[in-house]
Structure 1
Amino acid sequence: MSLITMSQKELNRLEAIQKIRDSRLSVVDAARLLNISRSQVHRLLQAYDRNGAAGFASGKRGRPSNRRHSDELRNAVLDLVRERYHDFGPTLAREKLIELHQIAVGKETLRQWMTEAGIWKSRRERKQRIFQPRGRRDCFGELIQIDGSHHWWFENRGPKCALLVYIDDATGKLLHLRFALSENTFDYLLATKAYLERWGKPLAFYSDKHGVFRTTHASEMDRTSGLTQFGRALYELNIDIICANTPQAKGRVERANRTLQDRLVKELRLRGINTLEEANAFAPEFIADFNVRFGKEPRNPKDMHRPLAVHENLDGAMCRKEVRTVSQALTLRYAKVIFILDPTDYAKTLPRQKVIVCDYPDGRLEIMHEGTLLPYRTFDTLRSVHRAPVVENKRLDDILSIVADMQEGREQKRRQRGPSRAGQKDHMFGIPDGSVSNGYQKRGRKPGRRTDFTNDPEVNAKRQKALARIAACD
């Protein structure tokens, strides 16, 4: 037998036995070295004398296992997998074989069978997707990549928040930064409004598939019906938005996020900045320094930013717009609130008409019909059952913090509303020591008949007087 086919354990034993035969090692020392008994050493010596080095190899080597499945079962299983479970993984295919066909095969055994038959490929054998580099755009303002980076920007000095990043594809320069609690429509509208006021309108924004930028309920009949509020605002200003299919496609802003998570975090630490307001005030200074260090000159010096047209209203576009129908009573509902239009001559002509509710990021709310502003007043807040919210993955941190605050508020109300339970002995009345219930004392209520069983002296005195009056009447 070749020494290459022997295991390391067998090679060690062969070396020790050869040393014994050459009188360089005793049997006792060999037993101690190999951690076996002296009898086992003598058996190895006999095997070496009979067969040489081949006497140390296991006799089972090269033979099929006694627990090996038959070829008939293997072929039957592979036929079933090819016919019914060709696109199943080994784990799921094994479950179905046991559940539907009563065939029990080990998961790893089935994996080896499927791999040898070419039905399944391991992760190492699967081809990794290739992302070839894309050249920069030629002109400044031709394509602006935007993204939100969730990170502990203030480390342990402040809350985890999102940084909205606007970076030019041609030059790699940061054009705007805004710190916000999360990636939401209002903060993107505010950031984009500030960007447009500073630089003008680019040809297009390049983003990911976040719910702020892309909706899954697009309509083929009307282009605007399938747009998000952010997409609708850009459409009104004649700016296009392109959604990347993979993070690698917008690698410029992704790499910038990684750089910012290193450099910007340390700059905020050195300056002792702990709040969103302070960070947003520091952002322009950081942007200027960043662009000097990492900015590139575009291949074409032309600036593709366009000024706002005369008919374009930036403030009117950068808001949330919802369509509502006016009732016969000149009312409409928005955000769980009933609004009543003032009964002007113009408003009286609007029942069953569509109006637009403009909800601005700064908290203002306007109701308009064909460009005419309608005065209104708030009537009441609608009540609704609390339902589980549908949340984007990137907003989960913000929603969980809101949920925690809501739960803490509810717990405080319940503690204030309910009787004290500390040291309670009488579970029927919430009375820890037999005195009058704390719940009754808080509400100013008089104790009922059941408080006659208390040990309070004042209550017992009243009880004795009442019993005396009853006895006198009898």
Structure 2
Amino acid sequence: MNETKKYQVIKAVAENKKQKKRASVELNLSIRQINRLVKSYRENGKSAFVHKNRGRKNKHSVPEKIKQQIITSYQSFSIKPNIKHFTEILKNDHHICYTDTTIRSILYKAKILSPKAQKKTKRRLKQLIKQESQQTKQSENLLVPRAEDYLELPEKTHPSRPRKKYKGELIQLDASSYNWFGNQITHLHLAIDDASGNIVGAYFDQQETLNGYYHVLHQILTKQGIPVTFLTDKRTVFEYNRKSTKAVEEDTFTQFGFACHQLGIDIKTSSIPQAKGRVERLNGTVQSRLPVDLEIANIHSIEEANQFLSVWIRKFNRQFGHKTAESVYETSPTTAEINLLLATVSHRIVDNGHHIKYQNKFYLPTEGGSDKYFTRKTKALIIKAFNGEIYVNIAEKIYLTRRLKTHETYSKEFDGVSSDIKKERRKYIPPQSHPWKLESFKRYLQSIDRTIEEYEAEKTA
């Protein structure tokens, strides 16, 4: 009940300007209560209508000392956590146990806004003014709104869809550019399973690169298995078509796309963020929580952050993931096969010194421990495996490589004879049936009237 209204009505009754029955109806009180208020008014005047708890402190309120500790603790973060996350930090690190609503109220009274609520708070007044103006305009025009006035165009709609049923049925990929640690902006490559909500891969890099997505794919293959489909944005890392043709058989696979093609993973792309809303929302959640945890762990480099991610992801998945247990992941290839499947290829030409230059380093093809020298301008295909090993493909044959040194590490003339010099270990050479040379090997078998099945049968026999 409004105290001012109660005062005015009782005052009118006391001055015989209003009957008690009418006052009881206006104030929704009994005649007995009206008599009590009139008597109190005659004794104490207007102060009789002031609530007795006004100015008193609630015995269940948060102590001022705790409030100040909460405010000081929040201000100590250079990267502000959201209120929910900050509530968890207070509980775990300071043993201050209050609800996020209470913490939010304390910070708001101190004129401290959550990074999640700041934009909404700034626009609150503008939205209220806009709503009032719209209501006034409608009342002036006396127009009855129609359902058709609120319809959205079909091409602009992105209705929500349910999660997939099985783990591995759809993996959403994206990279988030953010000031994760320190003063430099880095990119976090993320992959989330649509069905379970688990983060299945994460990797920090300076830019959104093929290397970052290769590390994410490597984590998926080694820890989960082979998924069915990837959903990504339309970057040339994932998709590229020649401008001169749209024929499917003449599409040019990207490095990432070719690796997925060999594994049987379908790639779907979309330029609309709402189409892959799962990973977009994940970016916002991770941006709100991970920088705070990186600061607490005193992380300042990409190497340290990538090591920290494995522990952090397990904690994140326990709290937010595991929404389904059924899986359709297929068995992953062996470590050696994954190493070659996640390779990058580049075209090079043999130079005058019979070696090949790649990433400002020089390499010589080798076979059986001996160097192979090819003629000048011979075309070669450099294959850099996931573990960094370099292979060279010349005329449909794969060779190991030996990196040329800028200086000799041993001198026969001045260092004498050393027993510590050991022979280099023979490296693994991919078989003819490997994906990088499978097509050319099939053509060779066809020329001698044989099939790949017959070749595999003879090999196993």
TM range (shorter): 0.3 to 0.5
Q: Which protein is bigger by CA-based radius of gyration?
A: 1
> How does the TM-score come out when normalised to structure 1?
0.47
